[in-house]
Structure 1
């Protein structure tokens, strides 16, 4: 290989990490993604080479910043933007059913981040732009479907107060859902970039430019990024953000979906990376059906150094005083619903009245599925409690679509049960007696199925049930399906707070 080039695999963040935004401080890059109904909100990653990303925390990690206790699936936190300016990091986003558009600040991107500062206008997907003259602009989506457009106004960056009235600056290319806008000033010109077409097969990234931050903007007639209308393993490309490296080379991060040969993908929208080429007319080009964005990339070396690849496989032992960053709760966890101190080395979950079928606080801690073929396992101990109490392992898309295998108390007896919930209908697929309150549980997945297995000794595994992978894909979900599958440990009291505590010794993830 040429020493000035490098190879890497796309996506650079596999699994449900959509709507990426990126900034740079010196030679350090920081990236954030949407988190929707999961808490803490807005995972944040660090890299020195744009390829290998390490999560360093979450931006919204306390209820004063993010209260999504009653948040529906694919609601919550939409499309964050991260920017760095004069020693301070800014993250602006939308709490779509809550406080609307707001931003938080930090001097250390690992946190702590400030409490929210509200901005007054806009629908979703706000972005910040710090101009050379000291002005700060909020650029954000407004309207819906074919009426979706971009508005912009100036703010006081200390208070969030609007210093100008919002002005419509961009109506897109005639397609629906002009969203995810970003304003840049590059080589003396203002560039407005946005997604168009909706986050599915017509998704694309479009761009315009002007001598003024408010336009009028000359639109490039064709998208600068799309795979619409072609047979390609990566689809739905769009929602991009641009970054210039210390060496003057430009890059883009954006979302894409690996649909697979059957036309669906349970992993959701993932984060991809590609170089940006500036054409002779001064437009940034990524890939307009030209074959630039591939699963295996060979590109100019983004920066010096050779960081270690991120290891996705492994076991969470719950030996620390905090949960690993890779784990996420479903909404804000109820007080007392989890603990790492109740039994050191174990994760304790106390079942809540809500179940996996309901919108509300559920005892659930999971991690995103990042490989199509993978398996997850745990060792669970569940004390005797009241009838209806249950804990186990779940593959979750939303309230309407999830599969789980767990220990339960039923008619005074312990059982191991497998449930399949498809389009809101829950079926008890299989059930066997449990000789003790201890069981090893496993979910294994391939492109076609999820398999629910148990073991009494950790060696011999018995398949209890299986469910179609398609049913857990965003493509099968009615309405918004903006997330991907999350595999989690759960507990529920099915209508009341559980008497018994569920203890999980470890949580293991293996790609196959």
Structure 2
């Protein structure tokens, strides 16, 4: 007998937090939080439950979601996907700034999108004025629809089409009393309502607790196996495990997808929170455990499904008329700020006002880092002649923390390596008298060390500078920043540094290799 196939966690690697997964026939679909990035809510597909690739986004029309002034780590939180009566429903929280500029100072509202196809296009988001977080859809045996939402597991009755609130929220299960309840789901099996809630905060005390009842609105009893998921070993390679949802495969076996984080040389999850999967075991008395209560696994026996591997490394030569689905803009891109057709085979960005440390910066195109070590490179043609103009490569976490290596103009054409550790740019290295013509830029990441290079031919590389101990490129690295829930992405950008110019920066390709 051949050896059973194995897989390693996380299964959806890189900045893919808060997973919600469904099965439709032999296909599996996952959605994840996207925060301030656009297009919003990546939708991924798998046939073997282990290998995933992005097939679309729930919101692709910038006129339907204005997040142009959304603060870092605000925006789209914790989406849920369900398949009901031949339609795909996605519910998500829109976390607003709540800084006095919004009507009634509302912090959160819920969005609903519907499509006949899992990849979309989805309908224009319908807004549900419920000021809480992490909605999911539950359909009871009689067809009644409820939006399940924190705190703990509240049930908000919905109209038949799922697009309107028809009554006040009622608490189904109040949770265990642990702090920071979020990510609630309710499922029904064998006459029991199971309320599944993440508690303990989304950091290193994260976990999943469960209660059950014969009635939707209780009373619920707590599982004797709680927490059914939590990492209790502080030295383990997978931490921050929680926020989960169960799914049954076509062979009848149950699994749980949940978020997690891989520490990078200490408790620094630089790639962000990711999505992992472990098997579910049902007990004789009708409770369930996840991975037999051992916490998150690093290696596991794979589902008994045909393996279907997708290439996640990226080489984009920009020859297509549409962007690869791995790309994300930081907030809404400005109309006319970029083009794939102005110079065929190149991605063109025009410099605009707004630098990387400003929310108004619109010309930043990124893809997720997937591993703690990787290489990325690009080729740029850019001819700045005004102080402040810049275009190049960036490892970007937020407006507060990033590294950038760019062709720029500062009393002459130069290459500069600049870091922002905590709301302040620092010049690390500078190459003067950069020759005319295209410039190749590359970053080599080895855990917390990032080394930047330049070349004139793409073959002979010269070092610009090295950044060591880049702990600021993660959730935990700047503890005084109020919200840090994303991960580090890598990509390309251009801006004018405030000089007001609109100048083209052309990128010939972008290569990413783990």
* TM-score interval for Structure 1 and Structure 2 normalised by the shorter chain: over 0.9
Measured after TM superposition, the shift of residue 74 of structure 1 is 0.7
* Count, aligned residues: 499
Label 1:389 to 1:260 Cα distance change in 2 as closer, same or farther (>3 A).
closer
Which residue of 1 is the match for residue 237 of structure 2?
A: 233
Which residue of 2 is the match for residue 195 of structure 1?
A: 198
Label 1:272 to 1:107 Cα distance change in 2 as closer, same or farther (>3 A).
same
Query: 2:324 is paired with a residue of what secondary structure?
Result: coil
Query: 1:470 is paired with a residue of what secondary structure?
Result: coil
Which residue of 2 is the match for residue 112 of structure 1?
A: 121
CA distance in 2 between counterparts of 1:391 and 1:300 reads: 45
Pair 1:476-2:477 in alignment: yes
Label 1:261 to 1:451 Cα distance change in 2 as closer, same or farther (>3 A).
closer
Measured after TM superposition, the shift of residue 174 of structure 1 is 2.0
Which residue of 1 is the match for residue 159 of structure 2?
A: 156
Scaled by the length of structure 2, the TM-score of the pair is 0.94
Scaled by the length of structure 1, the TM-score of the pair is 0.94
Cα deviation digits, residues 65-96 of structure 1 (max 9, x gap) = 32110111111100000000110000000111
Cα deviation digits, residues 242-283 of structure 1 (max 9, x gap) = 111122111111111111442322111111111111112211
* Aligned residue runs from structure 1 range 184-223, under 5 A: 184-221=187-224, 222-223=226-227
Contact 1:101 1:118 survives alignment (8 Å)? yes
Which residue of 1 is the match for residue 48 of structure 2?
A: 49
Measured after TM superposition, the shift of residue 132 of structure 1 is 1.7
Measured after TM superposition, the shift of residue 365 of structure 1 is 0.7
Measured after TM superposition, the shift of residue 495 of structure 1 is 2.4
CA distance in 1 between counterparts of 2:33 and 2:160 reads: 23
CA distance in 2 between counterparts of 1:500 and 1:331 reads: 21
Label 1:231 to 1:388 Cα distance change in 2 as closer, same or farther (>3 A).
closer
CA distance in 2 between counterparts of 1:140 and 1:376 reads: 40
Label 1:496 to 1:24 Cα distance change in 2 as closer, same or farther (>3 A).
farther
Which residue of 2 is the match for residue 345 of structure 1?
A: 345
CA distance in 2 between counterparts of 1:93 and 1:417 reads: 40
Contact 1:189 1:211 survives alignment (8 Å)? yes
Label 1:387 to 1:437 Cα distance change in 2 as closer, same or farther (>3 A).
farther
Which residue of 2 is the match for residue 145 of structure 1?
A: none
Measured after TM superposition, the shift of residue 490 of structure 1 is 0.3
Query: 1:228 is paired with a residue of what secondary structure?
Result: coil
Cα deviation digits, residues 96-141 of structure 1 (max 9, x gap) = 1077102100001111100112223241100101112010001101
Contact 1:178 1:194 survives alignment (8 Å)? yes
* Aligned residue runs from structure 1 range 17-36, under 5 A: 17-36=16-35
* Aligned residue runs from structure 1 range 126-141, under 5 A: 126-141=135-150
Which residue of 1 is the match for residue 252 of structure 2?
A: 248
Contact 1:404 1:452 survives alignment (8 Å)? no
Query: 1:64 is paired with a residue of what secondary structure?
Result: helix
Query: 2:256 is paired with a residue of what secondary structure?
Result: strand
Q: Judge which range, 449-458 or 39-48, deviates more.
A: 449-458
Cα deviation digits, residues 292-331 of structure 1 (max 9, x gap) = x322212451x3x232x22222411111010000111110
* Aligned residue runs from structure 1 range 162-173, under 5 A: 162-173=165-176
Q: Judge which range, 380-389 or 426-435, deviates more.
A: 380-389
* Aligned residue runs from structure 1 range 275-424, under 5 A: 275-287=279-291, 290=294, 293-301=296-304, 303=305, 305-307=306-308, 309-411=309-411, 413-424=412-423
Contact 1:71 1:360 survives alignment (8 Å)? no
Contact 2:279 2:291 survives alignment (8 Å)? no
Measured after TM superposition, the shift of residue 32 of structure 1 is 0.5
Measured after TM superposition, the shift of residue 421 of structure 1 is 0.8
CA distance in 1 between counterparts of 2:233 and 2:222 reads: 22
Measured after TM superposition, the shift of residue 288 of structure 1 is 6.7
Measured after TM superposition, the shift of residue 470 of structure 1 is 1.1
CA distance in 2 between counterparts of 1:93 and 1:208 reads: 23
CA distance in 2 between counterparts of 1:498 and 1:194 reads: 50
Query: 2:391 is paired with a residue of what secondary structure?
Result: strand
Cα deviation digits, residues 136-179 of structure 1 (max 9, x gap) = 0011014xxxxxx3321210143622222211223322221110
> Where in structure 1 are there 5+ consecutive unaligned residues?
143-148
Measured after TM superposition, the shift of residue 385 of structure 1 is 4.3
Cα deviation digits, residues 404-450 of structure 1 (max 9, x gap) = 10011222x21111101111121111112211142110111111311
> Where in structure 2 are there 5+ consecutive unaligned residues?
98-107
Contact 2:265 2:447 survives alignment (8 Å)? no
CA distance in 2 between counterparts of 1:215 and 1:318 reads: 55
1:488 is aligned, of 487, 491, 495, to 491
Contact 2:281 2:291 survives alignment (8 Å)? no
CA distance in 2 between counterparts of 1:493 and 1:329 reads: 18
1:176 is aligned, of 179, 185, 200, to 179
Query: 1:172 is paired with a residue of what secondary structure?
Result: coil
Label 1:469 to 1:310 Cα distance change in 2 as closer, same or farther (>3 A).
farther
Query: 1:248 is paired with a residue of what secondary structure?
Result: coil
CA distance in 1 between counterparts of 2:14 and 2:391 reads: 25
Query: 2:472 is paired with a residue of what secondary structure?
Result: helix
Label 1:127 to 1:497 Cα distance change in 2 as closer, same or farther (>3 A).
farther
CA distance in 2 between counterparts of 1:485 and 1:306 reads: 29
* Aligned residue runs from structure 1 range 61-72, under 5 A: 61-72=60-71
CA distance in 1 between counterparts of 2:150 and 2:36 reads: 21
Contact 1:117 1:159 survives alignment (8 Å)? no
Q: Judge which range, 470-479 or 25-34, deviates more.
A: 470-479
